[in-house]
Structure 1
Protein backbone atom coordinates (compact mmCIF):
# COMPACT_ATOMS: atom_id res chain seq x y z
CA UNK A 1 0.00 0.00 0.00
CA UNK A 2 1.30 3.44 -0.96
CA UNK A 3 1.83 5.28 2.39
CA UNK A 4 0.68 8.51 0.77
CA UNK A 5 -2.80 6.99 0.47
CA UNK A 6 -3.27 6.52 4.22
CA UNK A 7 -4.58 10.00 5.13
CA UNK A 8 -7.22 9.99 2.37
CA UNK A 9 -8.28 6.43 3.12
CA UNK A 10 -8.49 7.13 6.86
CA UNK A 11 -10.66 10.20 6.17
CA UNK A 12 -12.89 8.09 3.94
CA UNK A 13 -13.29 5.47 6.67
CA UNK A 14 -13.94 8.19 9.25
CA UNK A 15 -16.88 9.47 7.20
CA UNK A 16 -18.37 5.98 7.27
CA UNK A 17 -17.94 5.86 11.06
CA UNK A 18 -19.79 9.17 11.43
CA UNK A 19 -22.92 7.95 9.66
CA UNK A 20 -24.74 7.32 12.94
CA UNK A 21 -25.27 3.59 12.53
CA UNK A 22 -23.04 0.52 12.39
CA UNK A 23 -21.19 0.34 9.07
CA UNK A 24 -18.95 -2.40 7.65
CA UNK A 25 -15.96 -1.56 5.47
CA UNK A 26 -14.35 -4.38 3.50
CA UNK A 27 -10.76 -4.30 2.26
CA UNK A 28 -10.07 -6.94 -0.39
CA UNK A 29 -7.11 -7.88 -2.53
CA UNK A 30 -4.84 -10.74 -3.53
CA UNK A 31 -2.52 -12.47 -1.04
CA UNK A 32 0.27 -10.09 -0.05
CA UNK A 33 -1.57 -6.96 -1.19
CA UNK A 34 -1.19 -5.27 2.21
CA UNK A 35 -4.79 -5.65 3.40
CA UNK A 36 -4.08 -6.46 7.03
CA UNK A 37 -1.52 -3.65 7.35
CA UNK A 38 -3.87 -1.05 5.89
CA UNK A 39 -6.85 -2.29 7.92
CA UNK A 40 -4.85 -2.07 11.17
CA UNK A 41 -3.65 1.45 10.32
CA UNK A 42 -7.18 2.59 9.48
CA UNK A 43 -8.51 1.24 12.79
CA UNK A 44 -5.64 2.82 14.74
CA UNK A 45 -6.34 6.16 13.08
CA UNK A 46 -10.00 6.19 14.14
CA UNK A 47 -9.29 6.37 17.88
CA UNK A 48 -11.59 3.64 19.16
CA UNK A 49 -14.39 4.22 16.66
CA UNK A 50 -13.52 1.13 14.62
CA UNK A 51 -12.57 -2.51 15.20
CA UNK A 52 -10.79 -4.96 12.91
CA UNK A 53 -12.45 -8.31 12.17
CA UNK A 54 -10.28 -10.31 9.74
CA UNK A 55 -11.70 -12.87 7.34
CA UNK A 56 -8.70 -15.10 8.08
CA UNK A 57 -10.22 -16.06 11.42
CA UNK A 58 -12.47 -18.35 9.39
CA UNK A 59 -9.65 -20.56 8.10
CA UNK A 60 -10.55 -24.19 8.70
CA UNK A 61 -8.34 -25.81 11.31
CA UNK A 62 -5.35 -27.78 10.10
CA UNK A 63 -6.81 -31.09 11.26
CA UNK A 64 -9.99 -30.45 9.27
CA UNK A 65 -8.01 -29.50 6.16
CA UNK A 66 -6.10 -32.77 6.47
CA UNK A 67 -9.36 -34.71 6.83
CA UNK A 68 -10.77 -33.02 3.73
CA UNK A 69 -7.57 -33.50 1.73
CA UNK A 70 -7.13 -29.74 1.27
CA UNK A 71 -4.07 -29.00 3.43
CA UNK A 72 -1.86 -28.48 0.38
CA UNK A 73 -4.29 -25.79 -0.85
CA UNK A 74 -4.62 -23.88 2.42
CA UNK A 75 -5.81 -20.37 1.57
CA UNK A 76 -8.09 -21.37 -1.33
CA UNK A 77 -11.77 -20.34 -1.08
CA UNK A 78 -12.93 -23.80 0.02
CA UNK A 79 -10.46 -23.89 2.94
CA UNK A 80 -12.50 -21.30 4.87
CA UNK A 81 -15.82 -21.43 6.70
CA UNK A 82 -17.41 -18.90 4.34
CA UNK A 83 -20.92 -19.44 5.70
CA UNK A 84 -19.65 -18.78 9.22
CA UNK A 85 -18.05 -15.54 8.07
CA UNK A 86 -21.32 -14.45 6.47
CA UNK A 87 -23.21 -15.27 9.66
CA UNK A 88 -20.79 -13.14 11.68
CA UNK A 89 -21.20 -10.17 9.32
CA UNK A 90 -24.98 -10.51 9.65
CA UNK A 91 -24.67 -10.41 13.46
CA UNK A 92 -22.42 -7.38 13.25
CA UNK A 93 -25.00 -5.56 11.12
CA UNK A 94 -27.91 -6.29 13.47
CA UNK A 95 -29.20 -2.82 14.46
CA UNK A 96 -30.90 -4.18 17.57
CA UNK A 97 -27.81 -5.82 19.07
CA UNK A 98 -26.83 -4.65 22.55
CA UNK A 99 -24.30 -7.31 23.55
CA UNK A 100 -20.72 -7.58 22.32
CA UNK A 101 -19.97 -9.96 19.46
CA UNK A 102 -16.86 -12.14 19.56
CA UNK A 103 -15.00 -12.96 16.35
CA UNK A 104 -12.14 -15.36 15.62
CA UNK A 105 -8.69 -14.33 14.45
CA UNK A 106 -5.87 -16.22 12.72
CA UNK A 107 -2.61 -16.80 14.59
CA UNK A 108 0.16 -16.89 11.99
CA UNK A 109 2.66 -18.29 14.49
CA UNK A 110 0.35 -21.27 15.12
CA UNK A 111 -1.06 -21.31 11.57
CA UNK A 112 -4.48 -21.86 13.17
CA UNK A 113 -7.67 -19.86 13.79
CA UNK A 114 -8.37 -18.88 17.39
CA UNK A 115 -12.00 -18.47 18.45
CA UNK A 116 -13.24 -15.52 20.51
CA UNK A 117 -10.18 -13.38 19.84
CA UNK A 118 -11.85 -10.12 18.78
CA UNK A 119 -14.50 -8.36 20.92
CA UNK A 120 -16.81 -5.99 19.04
CA UNK A 121 -18.78 -3.72 21.33
CA UNK A 122 -22.31 -2.84 20.28
CA UNK A 123 -21.56 0.88 20.20
CA UNK A 124 -18.54 0.72 17.85
CA UNK A 125 -19.72 2.48 14.68
CA UNK A 126 -17.35 0.91 12.14
CA UNK A 127 -16.23 -2.67 11.58
CA UNK A 128 -13.27 -3.03 9.22
CA UNK A 129 -12.94 -6.50 7.72
CA UNK A 130 -10.23 -7.60 5.33
CA UNK A 131 -9.53 -10.70 3.28
CA UNK A 132 -8.96 -12.21 -0.13
CA UNK A 133 -12.48 -13.30 -0.98
CA UNK A 134 -14.79 -10.45 0.02
CA UNK A 135 -15.74 -9.77 -3.61
CA UNK A 136 -16.26 -13.32 -4.89
CA UNK A 137 -19.63 -13.88 -6.53
CA UNK A 138 -20.23 -17.62 -6.09
CA UNK A 139 -21.13 -19.97 -3.25
CA UNK A 140 -21.47 -18.57 0.29
CA UNK A 141 -18.90 -15.89 -0.60
CA UNK A 142 -21.43 -14.25 -2.92
CA UNK A 143 -23.37 -13.03 0.13
CA UNK A 144 -20.44 -11.07 1.57
CA UNK A 145 -20.49 -8.11 -0.83
CA UNK A 146 -24.08 -7.24 0.06
CA UNK A 147 -23.09 -7.04 3.74
CA UNK A 148 -20.39 -4.42 3.12
CA UNK A 149 -21.35 -0.76 3.08
CA UNK A 150 -18.18 -0.04 1.12
CA UNK A 151 -15.50 -2.27 -0.42
CA UNK A 152 -11.94 -1.33 -1.39
CA UNK A 153 -9.60 -3.37 -3.55
CA UNK A 154 -5.84 -3.03 -3.03
CA UNK A 155 -3.92 -3.40 -6.29
CA UNK A 156 -0.16 -3.07 -5.66
CA UNK A 157 2.54 -3.77 -8.23
CA UNK A 158 2.63 -7.58 -8.75
CA UNK A 159 6.36 -7.84 -8.12
CA UNK A 160 6.04 -5.97 -4.83
CA UNK A 161 3.11 -8.11 -3.74
CA UNK A 162 4.85 -11.43 -4.51
CA UNK A 163 8.07 -10.35 -2.81
CA UNK A 164 6.13 -9.29 0.29
CA UNK A 165 4.27 -12.59 0.31
CA UNK A 166 7.42 -14.71 0.06
CA UNK A 167 9.06 -12.68 2.83
CA UNK A 168 6.03 -13.21 5.06
CA UNK A 169 6.14 -16.98 4.61
CA UNK A 170 9.85 -16.95 5.44
CA UNK A 171 9.23 -14.82 8.52
CA UNK A 172 6.77 -17.40 9.82
CA UNK A 173 9.04 -20.39 9.38
CA UNK A 174 9.22 -21.55 5.76
CA UNK A 175 12.55 -21.79 3.97
CA UNK A 176 12.86 -19.31 1.11
CA UNK A 177 12.75 -22.12 -1.47
CA UNK A 178 9.61 -23.58 0.14
CA UNK A 179 8.04 -20.11 0.36
CA UNK A 180 8.69 -19.38 -3.30
CA UNK A 181 7.27 -22.78 -4.31
CA UNK A 182 4.17 -22.29 -2.14
CA UNK A 183 3.51 -18.83 -3.56
CA UNK A 184 3.78 -20.07 -7.15
CA UNK A 185 1.71 -23.20 -6.57
CA UNK A 186 -0.95 -21.96 -4.13
CA UNK A 187 -1.03 -18.22 -3.50
CA UNK A 188 -0.76 -17.06 -7.10
CA UNK A 189 -3.70 -19.15 -8.43
CA UNK A 190 -5.72 -17.67 -5.56
CA UNK A 191 -4.48 -14.19 -6.51
CA UNK A 192 -5.68 -14.62 -10.10
CA UNK A 193 -9.14 -15.60 -8.85
CA UNK A 194 -9.29 -12.62 -6.49
CA UNK A 195 -8.24 -10.18 -9.20
CA UNK A 196 -11.11 -11.28 -11.46
CA UNK A 197 -13.52 -9.65 -8.99
CA UNK A 198 -11.94 -6.24 -8.46
CA UNK A 199 -14.74 -4.65 -10.51
CA UNK A 200 -17.11 -5.28 -7.60
CA UNK A 201 -15.20 -2.83 -5.37
CA UNK A 202 -16.25 0.78 -4.79
CA UNK A 203 -12.62 1.89 -4.86
CA UNK A 204 -9.47 0.38 -6.38
CA UNK A 205 -6.30 1.60 -4.64
CA UNK A 206 -3.20 1.62 -6.85
CA UNK A 207 0.33 2.93 -6.18
CA UNK A 208 0.92 6.43 -7.43
CA UNK A 209 -2.75 7.15 -8.16
CA UNK A 210 -4.83 9.53 -6.05
CA UNK A 211 -7.68 8.36 -3.85
CA UNK A 212 -10.78 10.32 -4.81
CA UNK A 213 -14.52 10.17 -4.27
CA UNK A 214 -16.73 10.18 -1.21
CA UNK A 215 -18.20 7.08 0.46
Structure 2
Protein backbone atom coordinates (compact mmCIF):
# COMPACT_ATOMS: atom_id res chain seq x y z
CA UNK A 1 0.00 0.00 0.00
CA UNK A 2 1.48 3.41 -0.95
CA UNK A 3 2.25 5.81 1.87
CA UNK A 4 -0.12 8.73 2.34
CA UNK A 5 0.94 12.12 1.04
CA UNK A 6 2.53 14.35 3.68
CA UNK A 7 1.23 17.86 4.27
CA UNK A 8 3.77 20.52 3.28
CA UNK A 9 3.78 23.96 4.90
CA UNK A 10 6.02 26.80 3.72
CA UNK A 11 6.74 29.08 6.66
CA UNK A 12 6.37 32.78 6.06
CA UNK A 13 9.20 35.12 7.18
CA UNK A 14 7.54 35.80 10.54
CA UNK A 15 6.71 32.14 11.16
CA UNK A 16 3.13 32.95 12.12
CA UNK A 17 2.05 29.45 11.09
CA UNK A 18 3.96 27.85 13.97
CA UNK A 19 1.36 28.79 16.58
CA UNK A 20 -1.26 26.70 14.79
CA UNK A 21 1.08 23.83 13.92
CA UNK A 22 2.47 23.14 17.40
CA UNK A 23 0.28 20.48 19.06
CA UNK A 24 -1.48 21.53 22.24
CA UNK A 25 0.55 20.72 25.34
CA UNK A 26 -1.68 19.11 27.96
CA UNK A 27 -1.07 17.23 31.21
CA UNK A 28 0.83 14.47 29.40
CA UNK A 29 4.36 15.16 28.20
CA UNK A 30 4.61 15.76 24.46
CA UNK A 31 7.67 14.56 22.52
CA UNK A 32 8.15 16.18 19.12
CA UNK A 33 10.91 15.18 16.70
CA UNK A 34 12.42 17.55 14.13
CA UNK A 35 14.41 16.03 11.30
CA UNK A 36 15.94 17.31 8.07
CA UNK A 37 19.13 17.57 6.07
CA UNK A 38 22.28 19.14 7.54
CA UNK A 39 21.90 22.90 7.62
CA UNK A 40 18.14 22.88 7.01
CA UNK A 41 17.35 24.75 10.24
CA UNK A 42 16.43 21.97 12.68
CA UNK A 43 18.13 23.49 15.73
CA UNK A 44 16.73 26.95 15.07
CA UNK A 45 13.21 25.61 14.65
CA UNK A 46 13.47 23.41 17.75
CA UNK A 47 14.54 26.40 19.86
CA UNK A 48 11.72 28.53 18.44
CA UNK A 49 9.13 25.86 19.22
CA UNK A 50 10.43 25.31 22.75
CA UNK A 51 10.27 29.05 23.38
CA UNK A 52 6.53 28.91 22.77
CA UNK A 53 5.89 26.43 25.60
CA UNK A 54 7.06 27.51 29.09
CA UNK A 55 9.32 24.88 30.59
CA UNK A 56 9.96 23.08 27.30
CA UNK A 57 13.38 21.51 26.67
CA UNK A 58 15.35 20.80 23.49
CA UNK A 59 17.29 17.51 23.42
CA UNK A 60 19.63 17.29 20.40
CA UNK A 61 20.37 13.95 18.78
CA UNK A 62 23.87 15.33 18.13
CA UNK A 63 24.70 14.62 21.77
CA UNK A 64 24.90 10.98 20.68
CA UNK A 65 27.69 11.53 18.17
CA UNK A 66 30.40 8.96 18.81
CA UNK A 67 33.54 10.64 20.14
CA UNK A 68 36.35 11.11 17.65
CA UNK A 69 38.52 8.55 19.45
CA UNK A 70 35.83 5.91 18.81
CA UNK A 71 35.28 7.04 15.23
CA UNK A 72 39.01 6.61 14.59
CA UNK A 73 38.93 3.15 16.15
CA UNK A 74 36.07 2.16 13.84
CA UNK A 75 37.60 3.80 10.77
CA UNK A 76 34.68 6.24 10.51
CA UNK A 77 36.33 9.59 11.30
CA UNK A 78 36.04 10.73 7.67
CA UNK A 79 32.30 9.95 7.69
CA UNK A 80 31.46 11.82 10.90
CA UNK A 81 27.78 12.74 10.79
CA UNK A 82 26.64 9.65 8.87
CA UNK A 83 24.04 7.41 10.58
CA UNK A 84 26.61 4.83 11.69
CA UNK A 85 28.61 7.48 13.57
CA UNK A 86 25.91 7.88 16.24
CA UNK A 87 24.99 5.85 19.32
CA UNK A 88 21.43 5.49 18.04
CA UNK A 89 20.47 2.77 20.54
CA UNK A 90 21.61 5.03 23.36
CA UNK A 91 19.53 7.84 21.90
CA UNK A 92 16.46 5.60 21.75
CA UNK A 93 17.01 4.55 25.37
CA UNK A 94 17.18 8.19 26.48
CA UNK A 95 13.95 9.02 24.67
CA UNK A 96 12.33 6.11 26.48
CA UNK A 97 13.41 7.53 29.84
CA UNK A 98 12.10 10.96 28.87
CA UNK A 99 8.82 9.45 27.68
CA UNK A 100 8.37 7.73 31.06
CA UNK A 101 8.57 11.15 32.80
CA UNK A 102 10.15 9.94 36.04
CA UNK A 103 10.01 12.03 39.21
CA UNK A 104 13.67 13.02 38.86
CA UNK A 105 15.70 15.05 36.38
CA UNK A 106 16.86 13.11 33.33
CA UNK A 107 20.22 14.36 32.06
CA UNK A 108 20.80 14.37 28.31
CA UNK A 109 24.02 15.02 26.37
CA UNK A 110 24.63 17.99 24.09
CA UNK A 111 27.08 18.62 21.26
CA UNK A 112 29.82 21.21 21.70
CA UNK A 113 30.42 22.77 18.29
CA UNK A 114 33.63 24.50 19.35
CA UNK A 115 35.10 21.11 20.27
CA UNK A 116 33.11 19.14 17.68
CA UNK A 117 32.50 16.57 20.43
CA UNK A 118 29.51 15.29 22.46
CA UNK A 119 29.18 16.66 25.98
CA UNK A 120 27.66 14.34 28.58
CA UNK A 121 25.15 15.48 31.17
CA UNK A 122 24.63 18.94 29.64
CA UNK A 123 20.84 19.14 29.17
CA UNK A 124 18.54 18.69 32.19
CA UNK A 125 15.01 17.46 31.50
CA UNK A 126 13.03 18.05 34.71
CA UNK A 127 9.82 16.17 35.51
CA UNK A 128 7.88 19.39 34.97
CA UNK A 129 8.90 19.79 31.30
CA UNK A 130 5.61 19.59 29.34
CA UNK A 131 7.26 19.51 25.91
CA UNK A 132 10.52 17.95 24.76
CA UNK A 133 11.67 18.78 21.24
CA UNK A 134 14.38 16.51 19.90
CA UNK A 135 16.11 17.28 16.62
CA UNK A 136 18.39 15.22 14.45
CA UNK A 137 18.93 14.04 10.91
CA UNK A 138 17.89 10.41 11.07
CA UNK A 139 14.64 10.11 13.04
CA UNK A 140 12.77 8.70 10.03
CA UNK A 141 15.26 6.09 8.80
CA UNK A 142 14.15 2.46 8.65
CA UNK A 143 17.02 0.89 10.61
CA UNK A 144 15.85 -0.84 13.82
CA UNK A 145 17.70 1.59 16.07
CA UNK A 146 16.04 4.61 14.42
CA UNK A 147 12.63 2.94 14.44
CA UNK A 148 13.13 2.34 18.18
CA UNK A 149 13.84 6.05 18.69
CA UNK A 150 10.88 7.13 16.55
CA UNK A 151 8.53 4.91 18.57
CA UNK A 152 8.84 7.21 21.60
CA UNK A 153 7.84 10.36 19.71
CA UNK A 154 4.31 11.71 19.33
CA UNK A 155 5.12 13.25 15.95
CA UNK A 156 8.08 13.93 13.67
CA UNK A 157 8.34 16.97 11.41
CA UNK A 158 10.73 17.04 8.47
CA UNK A 159 12.20 20.41 7.54
CA UNK A 160 13.53 21.44 4.16
CA UNK A 161 15.43 24.47 2.91
CA UNK A 162 16.66 25.45 -0.55
CA UNK A 163 20.26 24.39 -1.15
CA UNK A 164 21.14 27.99 -2.02
CA UNK A 165 20.46 28.85 1.63
CA UNK A 166 21.42 25.58 3.31
CA UNK A 167 24.83 24.90 1.73
CA UNK A 168 26.37 28.30 2.62
CA UNK A 169 25.32 27.68 6.22
CA UNK A 170 27.19 24.40 6.20
CA UNK A 171 30.28 25.94 4.66
CA UNK A 172 30.30 28.68 7.30
CA UNK A 173 29.79 26.12 10.09
CA UNK A 174 32.73 23.98 8.97
CA UNK A 175 35.00 26.97 8.55
CA UNK A 176 34.05 28.20 12.02
CA UNK A 177 35.17 24.81 13.39
CA UNK A 178 38.62 25.24 11.80
CA UNK A 179 38.39 23.84 8.27
CA UNK A 180 39.83 25.81 5.37
CA UNK A 181 37.34 26.97 2.71
CA UNK A 182 38.51 24.19 0.39
CA UNK A 183 38.30 21.52 3.11
CA UNK A 184 34.86 22.79 4.15
CA UNK A 185 33.55 22.51 0.61
CA UNK A 186 35.06 19.04 0.15
CA UNK A 187 33.36 17.86 3.36
CA UNK A 188 29.99 19.33 2.36
CA UNK A 189 30.12 17.67 -1.06
CA UNK A 190 31.45 14.30 0.13
CA UNK A 191 29.70 13.87 3.50
CA UNK A 192 26.94 16.38 4.19
CA UNK A 193 25.21 16.18 0.83
CA UNK A 194 25.27 12.37 0.84
CA UNK A 195 23.63 12.46 4.26
CA UNK A 196 21.14 15.09 3.03
CA UNK A 197 19.99 12.81 0.22
CA UNK A 198 19.46 9.97 2.69
CA UNK A 199 17.49 12.16 5.08
CA UNK A 200 15.31 13.78 2.42
CA UNK A 201 14.44 10.36 0.96
CA UNK A 202 12.77 9.51 4.29
CA UNK A 203 10.61 12.67 4.37
CA UNK A 204 7.57 10.71 3.18
CA UNK A 205 7.38 9.11 6.64
CA UNK A 206 7.05 12.46 8.41
CA UNK A 207 3.83 13.71 9.96
CA UNK A 208 4.45 17.15 8.47
CA UNK A 209 6.98 18.76 6.13
CA UNK A 210 8.01 22.37 6.78
CA UNK A 211 9.83 24.45 4.17
CA UNK A 212 11.98 26.93 6.11
CA UNK A 213 13.58 28.64 3.10
CA UNK A 214 11.77 31.95 3.59
CA UNK A 215 11.59 31.91 7.38
CA UNK A 216 13.45 34.68 9.18
CA UNK A 217 14.06 32.55 12.28
CA UNK A 218 13.31 33.16 15.96
CA UNK A 219 13.48 36.93 15.58
CA UNK A 220 10.28 36.68 13.59
CA UNK A 221 8.21 34.78 16.13
In structure 2, relative to structure 1, the CA distance for the partners of 1:159 and 1:184 (3 Å cut) is: same
State the 1:160 CA deviation: 1.4
**Out of 174, 189, 192, which is 1:187 matched to?**
192
Higher relative contact order (CA 8 A, sep 6+): 2
Partner of 2:41: 34
Q: Which moved more, 1:151-160 or 1:179-188?
A: 151-160
State the 1:148 CA deviation: 1.2
Aligned counterparts of 1:128 and 1:11: Cα–Cα separation in 2: 16
**Is structure 2 residue 155 aligned with structure 1 residue 150?**
yes
State the 1:12 CA deviation: 2.9
Partner of 1:12: 21
State the 1:6 CA deviation: 2.8
Aligned counterparts of 2:173 and 2:11: Cα–Cα separation in 1: 18
Higher helix share: 1
Q: Is the 8 A contact 1:135 1:144 kept in 2?
A: no
Query: Aligned to 1:151, what secondary structure does the other structure show?
Result: strand
Cα offsets for 1:91-133 (capped at 9, x unmatched): 00015x1111000000010111010000000111100000100
Partner of 2:95: 89
Cα offsets for 1:160-188 (capped at 9, x unmatched): 11121111111222111110000001111
Aligned counterparts of 1:208 and 1:186: Cα–Cα separation in 2: 25
Partner of 2:50: 43
What is the aligned length? 205
Q: Is the 8 A contact 1:56 1:106 kept in 2?
A: yes
Partner of 1:213: none
Query: Aligned to 1:116, what secondary structure does the other structure show?
Result: strand
Structure 2 spans left out of the alignment, 5+ residues: 1-9, 216-221
Q: Report the RMSD for the aligned CA atoms in angstroms.
A: 1.7
- The normalised TM-score by structure 2 is 0.87
